[in-house]
Amino acid sequence: MQDIINRFISYITIDTQSDENNKNCPSTDKQWTLARLLVKELESIGMQDVEIDEHCYIMATLPSNIDYDVPTIGFIAHIDTSPDFTATNVKPQIHKNYDGKDIILNAEENIILSPSYFKDLNQYKGQTLITTDGTTLLGADDKAGITEIVSAMEHLIKHPEKKHGKIRVAFTPDEEIGRGAHLFDVEKFDAKWAYTMDGSQIGELEYENFNAAAAKVTITGKIVHPGYAKNKMVNSMLIANDFIATLPKNEIPQETSGYQGFYHLHTMNGEVEKTTLEYIIRDHDLSIFNQRKAQFLEIATAINKKLGANLIAVEIADQYYNMKDKIAPVMHIVDIAKQAMEEIGVEPLIKAIRGGTDGSQLSYKGLPCPNIFAGGHNFHGRYEYVPVESIQKAIETIVKITEITAKKFK
């Protein structure tokens, strides 16, 4: 357990936030720091063909140790952490034998991780939790995944009695800003299928995700002196308010769950003369997803007609699609992961992702890629935590998947 803790902490204390405003890849130079460390570590544990390209994508190979051919499989995690909350100067706190009570993250600022609010904590009583100090995110998304993949490969190298086929691993930049798979070379990776280690609580196994689009609404107004504004001023912020109010009020993230889609206003900037609204549009069902985008445009058209001028402009760009369509024809890869969890005593929690992973884009690039738990909770904020036992079970899941695959295709 201490080796796992040490490895995980060595990763999370390196700031690797990505930057959606930078179009380069990687979007931040600091992602190279962890990437270069990982290259050295992969080489030191005995991985082969370790390489890093000019865009910070790392790939490596664990050769087969059996004398017959089985499909090459892969495991993938991302290097970057979310730009939504600071990751500078992460100070992890370790709580052994968690007693099930409130955890004081920061006494000075009265920041408390409480099971009365974060009810998932209740299932980890008696375990070792790693939390933040309340001032940064933790980075378990997805440095827990990196820890699990590296540790599993090291375990297999140290235990050649555990039989497996050829295994490929990869670590990607910029997943948190939706670009992790953009420059991923599927042909070079050369795996029949792969698993992203990027889920949340122990047991999660996901092969469905949202269809996703980004929408930008630009509203043009007209500014004049308010004392002489009668029939002259056009306040773009008030028009923006009408637009927001016209969308379905209960179809927002905090009012939806499961397979329910939503419109999420995440950024708003406004002055009288110009207001911009930035939305994400999500739905698991492709036909409903397309209806949502159409409805978004129809609202803009209707308000423009009411105003008698085209003051609202809308741009919509698809981001990724539901990988279920690509996984369904090869469901045995999900069954293998499910069997692996069951054999190590983990109850599989098969559900749809209310978001997306590199795996959704990779599946459409020809690499079917379900998502497996990495073990963390409350990603992207100060209340993030991960049980070390969940990381251990994810490592065991990876190892077991490789063994089951070798047996299945003998």
Give the dihedral of Cα atoms 169, 173, 179, 183; nearest 10 deg. Answer: -60
| Average pLDDT score over residue span 365-379 | 96
DSSP string, 211-275: EEEEEEEEEE-B---GGG-TTT-B-HHHHHHHHHHHS-TT-SGGG--TT--EEEEEEEEE-SSEE
| Average pLDDT score over residue span 346-357 | 89
Q: Do domains 2-208+322-408 and 213-319 have the same CATH topology?
A: no
126: left (phi over 0), alpha (psi -120 to 50) or beta: left
The chain-wide mean pLDDT, for the chain, equals: 96
DSSP code for 377: B
Confidence band for 271, pLDDT divided at 50, 70 and 90: very high
pLDDT at 358: 86
Answering whether pTM is above 0.85, one says yes
**pLDDT tens, residue by residue, 130-156:** 999 999 999 999 999 999 999 999 999
pLDDT of 357 higher than 80: no
pLDDT at 402: 98
pLDDT at 110: 96
- Does the active-site annotation cover 283? no
pLDDT at 129: 98
Given a contact cutoff of 8 angstroms between Cβ atoms, the answer to whether 76 and 195 are in contact is yes
pLDDT at 410: 86
Of 159 and 177, the structure prediction assigns the larger pLDDT to 159
- Give the Cα separation of 187 and 193 in Å (integer): 12
- Does the active-site annotation cover 80? yes
pLDDT of 30 higher than 90: yes
pLDDT at 408: 93
pLDDT of 220 higher than 80: yes
Cβ-based neighbours of 249, under 8 Å, separated by 6 or more: none
Characterize the bridge pairing of strands 129-131 and 312-320.
Answer: unpaired
Question: Which of these is catalytic: 154, 175, 176, 358?
Answer: 175
Return the minimum-mean-pLDDT range out of 104-108, 143-147, 250-254, 354-358.
Answer: 354-358
pLDDT at 8: 98
Token readout for 304 is 């423009």
Domain coordinates of the chain in residue numbers?
A: 2-208+322-408, 213-319
Residue 383 bridge partners (DSSP) = none
pLDDT at 355: 80
DSSP code for 77: E
pLDDT at 99: 97
pLDDT at 88: 95
Given a contact cutoff of 8 angstroms between Cβ atoms, the answer to whether 170 and 189 are in contact is yes
| Average pLDDT score over residue span 19-28 | 95
Of 220 and 410, the structure prediction assigns the larger pLDDT to 220
| Average pLDDT score over residue span 265-291 | 97
pLDDT at 353: 87
- Which class is domain 2-208+322-408? alpha beta
Question: Which of these is catalytic: 15, 19, 80, 198?
Answer: 80
pLDDT at 218: 98
Confidence band for 322, pLDDT divided at 50, 70 and 90: very high
Characterize the bridge pairing of strands 262-270 and 385-387.
Answer: unpaired
What's the CATH architecture for 213-319?
2-Layer Sandwich (3.30)
Return the minimum-mean-pLDDT range out of 30-39, 161-170, 355-364.
Answer: 355-364
pLDDT at 273: 97
